[in-house]
């Protein structure tokens, strides 16, 4: 069937609470399936990576952003546009290196942990929101930016804030095409 010319495309959104509860159920099931926290963390990262490589197309289409010229612009775009668009929060960004390739996204409020008070003692090394690291890494890879992404601080582990570290692995290449 074709769409009528004057009809807008509908954006279907699920409730934030449903998403957060579903995510919590996913993590709980992974904890039952895997004995080691490292295995759960790896699985969440893989899932996030798969989401990120698909989500970047939606992000680029819906946000109409221009090409970022530096790692700093890229980190700002992730925080100010992507996080706001998909999670409804805007983390602050800080540069962690003199070379300008390491950044932190600092979340005062992490929406994925709205219904989580603390991690069980036997799951102390679980990175509950590791899915976010995979999403960021997968999306960046699809725009040809290799990066390491990991949690540096986590409120669920007693830290004051939640901090995601992004380290860009290669220097941006100046791509000049001859015509």
Helical packing angle, 16-33 and 37-63, nearest 10°: 150
Q: pLDDT grade, residue 178 (50/70/90)?
A: very low
Q: Which helix (H) or strand (E) holds 162?
A: strand 162-168
Residue 29 predicted with pLDDT over 80: yes
Residue 75 predicted with pLDDT over 70: yes
CA torsion sign for 49, 54, 58, 63 is: positive
What is the CATH number assigned to the segment(s) 16-168? Answer: 3.30.1380.20
At 170 the pLDDT is: 76
At 12 the pLDDT is: 56
CA atoms within 13 A on the CB side of 170: 9
Tokens for 128, please give them: 């509950």
Contact between 104 and 152 under an 8 Å Cβ cutoff? The reply is yes
Q: pLDDT grade, residue 1 (50/70/90)?
A: very low
What pTM was computed for the model?
Answer: 0.86
Contact between 49 and 137 under an 8 Å Cβ cutoff? The reply is yes
Q: Region 25-35: what's the mean pLDDT?
A: 95
pLDDT in tens, 106-134: 999 898 998 888 888 899 999 999 999 99
Give the residue carrying structure tokens 């919590």.
Answer: 24
DSSP letter for each residue of 9-68: PP-----HHHHHHHHHHHHHHHHHH-SSHHHHHHHHHHHHHHHHHHHHHHHHHHH-PPPP
At 179 the pLDDT is: 39
């Amino acid at each position: 069937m074709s769409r009528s010319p004057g009809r807008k495309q509908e954006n279907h959104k699920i409730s934030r609470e449903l998403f957060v509860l579903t995510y919590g159920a996913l993590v709980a099931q992974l904890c039952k399936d895997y004995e080691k926290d490292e295995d759960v963390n790896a699985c969440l990262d893989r899932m996030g990576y798969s989401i990120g490589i698909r989500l970047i197309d939606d992000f680029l289409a819906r946000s109409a952003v221009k090409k970022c010229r530096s790692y700093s612009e890229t980190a700002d775009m992730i925080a100010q546009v992507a996080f706001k668009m998909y999670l409804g929060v805007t983390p602050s960004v800080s540069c962690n290196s003199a070379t300008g390739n390491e950044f932190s996204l600092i979340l005062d409020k992490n929406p994925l942990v709205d219904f989580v008070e603390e991690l069980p003692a036997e799951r102390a090394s679980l990175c509950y929101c590791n899915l976010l690291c995979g999403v960021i890494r997968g999306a960046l890879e699809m725009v040809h930016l290799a990066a390491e992404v990991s949690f540096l601080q986590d409120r669920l582990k007693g830290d004051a804030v939640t901090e995601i570290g992004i380290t860009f692995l290669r220097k941006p290449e100046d791509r000049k095409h001859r015509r």
